[in-house]
Structure 1
Amino acid sequence: MNKMKSRQINPEKLLLSKWTAVQPANKEKHFLVTRLVRDEQEIVVACVLEAVINHREIELDWHLLKDASIWLPGWL
């Protein structure tokens, strides 16, 4: 049985980290975290990822980066 393990991520260290999309869309495979979105208490709630190939930005809940079926750390 294949159990998915949730990886530990420190949201304060996400800025400028590199990520690979497991199922790339529009040839967008490699991403760089360019901004962190914080709430009123300065807690990180989301991050902005920029596609390396075309510089398109997407904002997503940083917790989604823990899902190894969607994102892998680094550029593979």
Structure 2
Amino acid sequence: MLLTKWTAVKPIAKQKHFLVSKVILPEPPDEKIELVEIEAVYSKKTTLIPWRDLTNSELWIQGWK
């Protein structure tokens, strides 16, 4: 999942293309991963989102479209 490319179906803060820049490890470490940090390709702004949001085709398309 790290460094995968995503396109927002609806732009977020005028940004459309993102990379998964970090996988947030849970505390304690035996818990499931819930969050990832996405980075806008153009502005480099980062945002935390639940990783499961990326599986919603109404919000995200894998790759850059």
Q: Which residue of 2 aligns with 1:36?
A: 23
- Is 1:48 aligned to 2:64, yes or no? no
Report the Cα distance in structure 2 between the residues aligned to 1:70 and 1:19, rounded to whole angstroms: 10
2:34 alignment partner, SS class: strand
Deviates further, 51-60 or 24-33: 24-33
Unaligned runs of 5+ in 2: none
- Is 1:20 aligned to 2:21, yes or no? no
Residues 15-73 of structure 1: CA deviation (Å, up to 9, x unaligned): 00000000013320000000001211163211000001100000011001010000000
Report the Cα distance in structure 1 between the residues aligned to 2:56 and 2:32, rounded to whole angstroms: 20
Identity value in percent: 37
* Higher-strand-fraction structure: 2
- Is 1:62 aligned to 2:51, yes or no? yes
Deviates further, 25-34 or 45-54: 25-34
Report the Cα distance in structure 1 between the residues aligned to 2:48 and 2:42, rounded to whole angstroms: 17
- So what's the TM-score if we normalise by structure 1? 0.77
2:6 alignment partner, SS class: strand
- The structure with the larger Rg is 1
Two-structure CA RMSD over aligned residues (Å): 1.1
Report the Cα distance in structure 1 between the residues aligned to 2:17 and 2:54, rounded to whole angstroms: 13
